[in-house]
Amino acid sequence: MKVNLPKLHTGQVGFARAFNENRLSVLRCGRRFGKTTMLERCAAKWSVKRERIGWFGPTYSLNIPTYKRLYRMLRPVIESASKIDRIIELKTGGAIEFWTLQDEDAGRSRYYDKVIIDEASLIDKGLKDIWEQAIAPTLLDRNGKAIMAGTPKGMDSDNFFYEACMDKSLGWLEMHAPTSANPILSREVLDKLPEQYPALVYQQEYLAEFVDWNGASFFGLDSLLIEHEPVEYPYKTDQVFAVVDTASKDGMEHDGTGVIFYARSKYAGIPLVILDWDVVQIQASLLIDWLPAIHARLEQLVKETQAREGNVGIWIEDKDSGISLIQSASRQGLPVAPIDSVLTSQGKEGRAIAVSPHVHQGRVKLSRYAYDKITNYRQQNKNHFIDQICGFRMGQHRKEHKKDLLDCFTYGIAISLGDAYGF
């Protein structure tokens, strides 16, 4: 039976050969180079040749698309497969097993000819321990090889991907592939990338360089203004909507919950205007009573902006207290929708990078009302929207991220305008 493998472009061929020649390889590459497609092809080819492959990814949701693609690719020679057990076994004797790096014992007790660690840069801490204690021993029986790949994510000595690239004494052969190394991509599109993204984002995501984010405000206030001034409410916009983020427990007495109200104009004017925002600290059980007030505010904004399509709903993150909020709102007949898991799985910094072109190019603006608004939250009187959005810095420890409105901000942009990853 014949297995049809995807053809590699010229930028991938050399790397695929190097994986066979080197014991430890680390690939630092830009977005859309084709890293995962190349690794999937390698895994398929090696498994057909009777090798056992261990595939390690940050999360189950990131592994599933790869599992499905490899299943379709290898279908003619599959002996058995289980998405639940996360294994594909072939008639040739080869196999591919999938693990998530959320499990500190990932791969323990197994043996492999090849190990692939995809999106390794997304693991902030702990990957080195998992590698040394669980993954590396799986290669001893067959003198196996390991490939680790990802796109840079700041300069962080706790990030094993960064360390493997920078510290040659660890034994990893570093290879570099910027986005432009993919010859299939349009040269015209590639030439425009520096204009579409903030400089540091372009360097990291497309040149695949490690950049220092310390001290750099990611979303500058001026990018949300026009000639240093906020904008008035749009006249005859298309629709209004809201995004709610319900935070997890953070050690405070109650959770923090944020909401941002948007006006979307599809054909003329400013594509997205932030009309209003709020951030509250109340018991989760009382949030259910708060939702009708959000709906009422949207109905008011429909009139103030003369939105042609009206109030198109409230988007809520489908986890923690957000689950009960969605259920309660549905029972009350309020227009609500869960935020797609494609967005929630990206993480705060990933979402910020993904929506940054819209902010950088002036498609998102702050209304005067939202700009002038001052509220009391956690015993502080100030504009919490400006403080949280414009105070956000990449590379901060997670606990330092002020997230109540930041998530609402990035979710709202991605939902209405799309993001750089195709959402």
Tell me, what CATH number does 316's domain have?
3.30.420
- 155 and 44 share one domain: yes
User: How much of the chain, in percent, has pLDDT values that exceed 90?
Assistant: 61
Question: What is the per-residue pLDDT for 246?
Answer: 78
**Number of compact structural domains in the chain:** 2
Structural domain includes residue 252: yes
Q: What is the span of the domain harbouring residue 266? A: 221-416
Q: How confident is the model at residue 71 (pLDDT cuts 50, 70, 90)?
A: very high
Structural domain includes residue 200: no
Q: How confident is the model at residue 299 (pLDDT cuts 50, 70, 90)?
A: very high
Query: What sign for the dihedral angle of Cα 196, 201, 205, 209?
Result: positive
| 281 has pLDDT over 90 | no
Structural domain includes residue 318: yes
- The C-alpha atoms of residue 61 and residue 379 are separated, in whole angstroms, by 39
| 396 has pLDDT over 70 | no
- 102 and 245 share one domain: no
Structural domain includes residue 399: yes
- 359 and 252 share one domain: yes
- 368 and 309 share one domain: yes
Question: What is the per-residue pLDDT for 187?
Answer: 92
- 162 and 260 share one domain: no
Structural domain includes residue 5: no
- 166 and 276 share one domain: no
- 170 and 243 share one domain: no
By the 8 A CB rule, do 259 and 278 touch? Answer: yes
- 401 and 300 share one domain: yes
- 58 and 115 share one domain: yes
Question: What is the per-residue pLDDT for 320?
Answer: 64
| 255 has pLDDT over 60 | no
Mean pLDDT of 14-42: 93
Structural domain includes residue 127: yes
- 173 and 246 share one domain: no
| 253 has pLDDT over 80 | no
Q: 398 or 337, which is more confident? A: 337
Structural domain includes residue 83: yes
Domain termination residue (choose one: 170, 187, 204): 187
Question: What is the per-residue pLDDT for 254?
Answer: 46
Structural domain includes residue 4: no
- 142 and 232 share one domain: no
Domain termination residue (choose one: 162, 187, 212): 187
Residue 31 maps to which CATH number?
3.40.50.300
Domain termination residue (choose one: 187, 204, 235): 187
Mean pLDDT of 221-245: 93
- pLDDT, one tens digit per residue, over 369-379 is 999 999 988 87
Question: What is the per-residue pLDDT for 391?
Answer: 86
Q: 119 or 197, which is more confident? A: 119
Question: What is the per-residue pLDDT for 216?
Answer: 65
Mean pLDDT of 301-306: 96
Mean pLDDT of 144-158: 91
- 258 and 124 share one domain: no
- pLDDT, one tens digit per residue, over 72-108 is 999 999 999 998 889 999 999 999 999 999 999 999 9
- Starting at the earlier edge strand, list the strands of the sheet with 256-264: 336-338, 311-316, 239-246, 256-264, 272-281, 364-366
